[in-house]
Amino acid sequence: MNKSKRINIISRILDEQYKETPAPLDHSDPFTLLIAVLLSAQCTDERVNKVTPLLFEKASDPEEMRKLSEKKIYGIIRPCGLGPQKSKAIKKLSDILVRDYEGRVPSGLIELEKLPGVGHKTASVVVSQAFNKPAFPVDTHIHRLAQRWGLTNGKNVKQTEKDLKRLFPKKDWQKLHLQIIFWGREYCQARECWGLECRICSTCYPKRKRKFKHKKP
């Protein structure tokens, strides 16, 4: 089966399964989304959604957040893991937003990636979900699924992102990012499907008999 046919199959199955793609992280504006995505690093969305209401009750904008001590922030976000680094980044980026951006979250990737604790994937999520700009955030799981589905030969998430952007229409990037996340969690888990079990894997590669070996990101 050629790549073009696999792309059509993947798009059709994902559209059938996920007609709506709500953002998995609870937020009310670009700032609360930025903080939620930052907290989601090496943490589940479910846990983040339990922690953020407690944090945003204390501070829901950069001006309020910068007034909290790192210790106070850490005490709230500790269940998300990497607490010391994340609390430091949250306080520092809040200072920068107030000082340099009038308390507003910038809408550009370059500006976002300069903020403490904000990498390319986090910036891409904010740009896409908060500002509705075309972006295709790729995490490790999306990277693995793209390999399983024959959409990339990339050895890292950066190359996989380039490949996915090239293969799919720009208007579908935001939707596809979320659809692939949802599918991966439900049907093509990192240590369950291995390219053999789910409907997408079995349809695209009906003759695959052995576990797919991923290239490390």
Q: Are residues 140 and 127 in the same domain?
A: no
| Residue 155 annotated to the active site | no
Q: Is the predicted pLDDT of residue 43 greater than 80, yes or no?
A: yes
Q: Are residues 59 and 112 in the same domain?
A: yes
In a domain, 144, yes or no: yes
Question: Confidence band (pLDDT; 50, 70, 90) for 180?
Answer: very high
Q: Are residues 161 and 126 in the same domain?
A: no
Number of folded domains that form the chain: 2
Q: Which of 88, 139, 162, 171 is catalytic?
A: 139
User: What average pLDDT does range 159-185 have in this prediction?
Assistant: 96
Question: Confidence band (pLDDT; 50, 70, 90) for 210?
Answer: very high
Domain that holds residue 40: 30-131
Q: Is the predicted pLDDT of residue 122 greater than 80, yes or no?
A: yes
Instruction: Please give the mean pLDDT across all residues of the chain.
Output: 96
Which pLDDT score, from 0 to 100, does residue 217 have? 58
Q: Is the predicted pLDDT of residue 89 greater than 90, yes or no?
A: yes
Q: Which of 92, 121, 158, 163 is catalytic?
A: 121
| Residue 139 annotated to the active site | yes
For residue 146, how many C-alpha atoms fall within 13 Å in the half-sphere facing its CB?
A: 32
Question: Confidence band (pLDDT; 50, 70, 90) for 215?
Answer: confident
More confidently predicted of 62 and 191: 62
